[in-house]
Amino acid sequence: MKLIAVFMMLSLAACSDGPVSLVNEGDIVGDAVPAPLTDSVASIEEGRGIFVERDRGHCILCHQVDGLDAPFQGNVGPDLTGLGARLTPGQIRLRIVDASRLNVDTVMPPYYRVHGMNQVAKEQAGKPVLTALEIEHLVAYLRSLEG
Ligand code: HEC
């Protein structure tokens, strides 16, 4: 029975051609997702690690933060120094979940969205790039940046 359920989910994923957000429409208020994606406790330290590390978020590929101890920081995206003073946690959350909701042409990848199987490696199908908790760690880190 379990196997059949898994098989059905896989074929559903294979059929969907567009991206599927893991956040419900009702969770989006204006340009923000006000509620945390998980009840687990987020950590600023963890968030900083995900922001910097190549095999995790690797946000510094495109962003920079003053005073962050990381040698190569990109400039494709905006400087996130002091971000916590400019955006609410909910606004930061939506931008990480799926920045294309605010700018369809953005080059920033959606970190909490799943794609049809034609666009991604099989192992990655149905899984977002980051987990709900990893996104909450990033929100905790970025909101801590106050200039
Ligand atoms: C491929 C480049 C790229 C990567 C990788 C990337 N971003 Fe972005 N990001 C952008 C660009 C470009 C923008 C500007 C928004 C737009 O394109 O409309 C942006 C905007 C943002 C904003 C809004 C900033 C503001 O001032 O309004 C936040 C927050 C953000 N990114 C966080 C992150 C985090 C966290 C990660 C890693 C998980 C990340 N980004 C990875 C390119 C990137």
Q: Could you give the residue ranges of the DSSP H alpha helices within the chain? A: 2-15, 44-52, 83-86, 89-98, 132-143
Give the whole-angstrom CA distance, residue 36 versus residue 136. 7
CATH class assigned to 2-42+79-143 = mainly alpha
Whether ligand 1 lies within 6 angstroms of the CB of 92 is answered as yes
- pLDDT at residue number 128: 87
Task: Look over the chain and give the mean of its residue pLDDT values, rounded to a whole number.
Answer: 86
Q: Is the per-residue pLDDT at 9 higher than 70? A: no
Q: How far apart are CA 56 and CA 50, in angstroms?
A: 5
Q: pLDDT value at position 19?
A: 67
| pLDDT at residue 14 in the model | 45
Atom of ligand 1 nearest to the CA of 74: 2
- pLDDT value, residue 86: 97
**What is the tens place of the pLDDT at every residue in 23-71?**
888 899 999 999 999 999 999 999 999 999 988 899 999 999 999 999 8
Distance 99 CA to ligand 1 centre (A): 7
